[in-house]
Every structure is written in C-alpha cells, then in structure tokens.
Amino acid sequence: MIQALLNAWRLPDVRNKLLITGLILVIYQFAAHVPVVGVDRDALEVLLDPNSTGAGLVGVLNLLSGGAVANFSIIANGVYPYITASIIFQLLVPIIPRLQEIQREPGGQDKIQRYTYYATIPMAIFQSFGQIQIFNSLLSSTGGTATQIIPEFGIDPLLTFSVIATMTAGTMFAVWLGELITEQGIGNGISIIIFAGIVAETPTNLANLVTTSTQPVYNIAMFVVIVAVSVIITVLIQEGIRRIPVQYGKRVRGRKQYGGASTHIPLRVNPVGMIPLIFSQAVVTFPAVFVSFFPEGSLRTDITNTFGNQQGLAYWTTFFILTVAFTFFYSEVMVTNQSLADNLQRQGGFIPGIRPGKRTHEYILRVTRRITFVGAFFLGVIAVVPGMVDFINSLIFPGEAIAGGLNAGSVLTGAGIIIVVGVVIDFMRQLEAQLVMRNYEGFMR
C-alpha cells in the first residue's frame, strides 16, 4: 500500500490533484476562523464550555462544521444547507412529474443540480437564523449575564442583514470549494470537506474530554473501544451487499449472437450512508428551534432542555426512531429513482423466476426492505451511542455523568465515524482507479 501511495505521488497529474485537494481544505480551515460580525466572545465561551447547558448539541455542530462554530465563523453552517436541499430534491423528483421530465432530458441532471444550488440559499438563511436563536435559548437557560450570541441581532436591521448575508455567503463559498475538489481534486468534494472538519476537530474534543474528567484513563479506553468497534462494524455494514442474479436473453443479429450473459445487481445493506443521521439530527433539533420563536415558559424550557440540550430518554428514543424511519424511507426513494426494473427490461435482462417490469420492481423493493432493516438498526444504534455512554457513565460514576455534556461517544459521534470511514474508502478507491488507469497495481482488495 505504501508503494502504491508513492507511485501515486510520482504521477504529476495525480500529485496535482492531491495538492489541489489539500490546498482547498487549508482554505476552508482559514475561512473557519473568520468570525461573523458582532459575536459576543464571552457568550461563545459559555456555549463551548463542556459542562454548560446544550454542550452536546454545540459540540456536534462544531465537530461537523470543522471547528467553525467554535469561532462562530462565516461558515458556521457548513455545507448542511446544501445537503438538506439535495435531500429535498431527491424526495421531490419521484413525486413531481415535471421534475421527472427535466431529469430525463439531456442535461436534465445539471438543471436539477442548479435548482439545488438555488434552494441552498433559503436553507442557509433559515439555518443561520435558527442556529442563532437556539444558541440564544441555550444562553438564557444558563442563567448567566450573556443571553445573546450576537447582541442586537433581530433588533438592529443592518446587523441582522449583515449576519444572515455573510453566513449564507459562507455556506455557498464552502459548497463552491467542495465542487472544486470534485472537479479538480480527488473524491467527492462535499464529503471530503465534512471529513476534514471532523478530523481537524477530533483532537480538540479528545483533549477536552481528558482534561475535564476525573477519570481520563477510563474515558480514553472507552473512546478507543467505541471507535474500534464502530469502525469494524461500519466497514462491514457499508461494504455489505446482497447480489441479485440477472440473466440476459440471447439476441441474434445477422450472423452474430449477442447477450446470454449472467451478472448481478448489488444491493447494499446501507445504501444511504450517513444521510438519515444528518436528516434526523436536523429534524430532532427542530422543536428547540421552533419554540425559540415563542415567549419564555415552562413548555419552551422543557422542550429546549430535551431537544436543544440532547438529553433524556425522550430525545434519544426520538432520534433512534427518526433515524430508522428515514433510512427505510430514503432507501426506498433511492431504489425507485434508479428505475432498476425498467433499465433491466430495456436491456433485455431479467431476474430468474421473476417476471420483467412491475413484478421485478416489487421483488427488488421487497429485498431492499429486508436487508435495509439491518442497515437501519445499525444507523439507529450508532446514532444513540452518546446517550448509551451517558447511561453507562451514570451507573459507574454517578457524580460524573453530565447529561448533554461531552463523553467518549460524542468525541467523534456516530455520524462522524460513518463519514470518516465512508470518505476514506471512497478516496482510496478513486486513488486506486487513477493508478490502475495508468497501468500501476492497485492496493485495495
């Protein structure tokens, strides 16, 4: 493998792609340190305190944004408004006939992509406003002197417009950097930007975990065990496939015979990656964002404490159910969008024992639902690992279990582990493809 990496570095075009990818990631990290105008640094320090109210939510947002939330920078939203817009369009295309027609047209996918960019802007505006409001709610619940992350936000029109505009522009800048990596570098740019942010922030989270705990050895051991087990299981689930045999009928044209070959359709156990985790994270946080627009009261406080601070049985149960439900739903949408049955019928292929057309589509959906159960349960469990660790800590060290605070399970988070493993595998595959294309031996088996 080392020799293969050296071979990749010796190739000028591959080396340039690697350097471009690295340079763009450095630019992203520079942007993560450019703060939004008007941020109260004292209030931000209160939010970032591992023992403060809502530390779990702030920590997850900071991890997935690559440390941008720690500075409340112009890219504090990360690329998640774009991901949300992409998910929305993937769900709308099978429902709206006009979008289906556009997708089938020549260049239709480019049009859908352009609409996704347009939809990212309102998503970024909404997320910017909601993120500031929920941070204000968390600050109010701490009982300290700082009650607003950006004083005068929502009161001063010019300040409010400047903050929303810069955070929205920061999101589009991050998406543009991701597209540059996809076009000029190696790998999927959006995924690599998220991956780089997680890797850059993990050492800081681990250091905070060790320094703020009276049981550093226990926490380190727990972190190592969680990461090792999660990586192994993630690789097995992510790479697990169910092969459906496909037979192509023989066709005779003139004196030549075509077809008659046998192949298979590879259906993945988890075809949707970490998307359900991100989507369910956004939805489960929405109640806290929604109640932040209403006056103070007991109901608002209870909802903020549960869904804003990421604590309690209600939060983790809701998170688990949403993750499992979104996995099933999104898997079915993806399989339907691929039109596997129609493509097989057009190419003269069929599944032995199954009629082409509708019966084939129903069979593929049935198999997908069956194998998705394993992937959905896996995503659900890995989503609630921080809550499980909190529960274990409360049993072993009752005085140290801090609900919603940093623990060994939230240093990297389940979504972080899936993203890191998935991006590394995809990056190595694309790097191997570059080597094999130039007659070098690959390194993945």
pLDDT in tens, 243-255: 888 887 666 666 6
User: DSSP per residue over 240-297, as a string?
Assistant: -EEEEEEEE-EEEETTEEEE--EEEEEEESSTTTTHHHHHHHHHHHHHHHHHTTS---
Bigger pLDDT: 172 vs 217:
172
pLDDT in tens, 391-419: 888 788 776 554 445 677 778 777 778 87
| C-alpha torsion sign, points 233, 234, 239, 240 | positive
Please report which residue ranges of 65-107 form alpha helices under DSSP H.
80-92, 97-104
pLDDT in tens, 50-66: 666 666 677 777 777 77
Pairwise CA distance, residues 122 & 55, whole Å: 27
Whether pLDDT at 236 is above 70: yes
Q: Is residue 444 included in any domain, yes or no?
A: no
- Look at residue 328 in the predicted model and tell me its pLDDT: 87
Whether pLDDT at 381 is above 60: yes
Q: Is residue 445 included in any domain, yes or no?
A: no
User: Hey, which residues does 253 pair with through a beta bridge?
Assistant: 256
Q: Is residue 297 included in any domain, yes or no?
A: yes
Please report which residue ranges of 339-413 form alpha helices under DSSP H.
340-346, 358-383, 385-396
418: nearest Cα among 129, 191, 222, 112: 191
Whether pLDDT at 176 is above 90: yes
208-220 average pLDDT score: 79
Q: Is residue 251 included in any domain, yes or no?
A: yes
* CA angle centred on 203, ends 140 and 15, rounded to 5°: 125
Question: How many C-beta atoms surround the C-beta of residue 302 within 10 A?
Answer: 13
Least confident of 176-180, 207-211, 374-378: 207-211
39-43 average pLDDT score: 84
Q: Is residue 442 included in any domain, yes or no?
A: no
- Confidence class for position 8, pLDDT limits 50, 70, 90: confident
284: nearest Cα among 310, 259, 260: 310
Whether pLDDT at 354 is above 90: no
Whether pLDDT at 166 is above 90: yes
- Look at residue 402 in the predicted model and tell me its pLDDT: 45
* Residue 314 structural domain: 2-437
- Look at residue 146 in the predicted model and tell me its pLDDT: 65
Model confidence pTM above 0.85: no
Q: Is residue 443 included in any domain, yes or no?
A: no
163: nearest Cα among 290, 39, 78, 33: 39
Pairwise CA distance, residues 155 & 144, whole Å: 21
Q: Tokens 């070959």 sit at which residue? A: 261
pLDDT in tens, 285-305: 777 767 766 777 777 777 777
344-352 average pLDDT score: 78
- CATH no. for residue 105? 1.10.3370.10
- Look at residue 33 in the predicted model and tell me its pLDDT: 87
Q: Is residue 148 included in any domain, yes or no?
A: yes
Please report which residue ranges of 39-149 form alpha helices under DSSP H.
41-48, 55-64, 80-92, 97-104, 108-142
- Look at residue 416 in the predicted model and tell me its pLDDT: 79
Helix axes 216-239 and 358-383, enclosed angle (nearest 10): 170
371: nearest Cα among 281, 290, 272: 272
- Look at residue 404 in the predicted model and tell me its pLDDT: 43
Q: Is residue 335 included in any domain, yes or no?
A: yes
pLDDT in tens, 190-205: 888 888 888 887 888 7
Whether pLDDT at 283 is above 60: yes
The count of domains in the chain is 1
Whether pLDDT at 433 is above 70: yes
Among 99-108, 127-136, 173-182, 355-364, name the most confident range.
Answer: 173-182
Pairwise CA distance, residues 255 & 257, whole Å: 7
- Look at residue 172 in the predicted model and tell me its pLDDT: 93
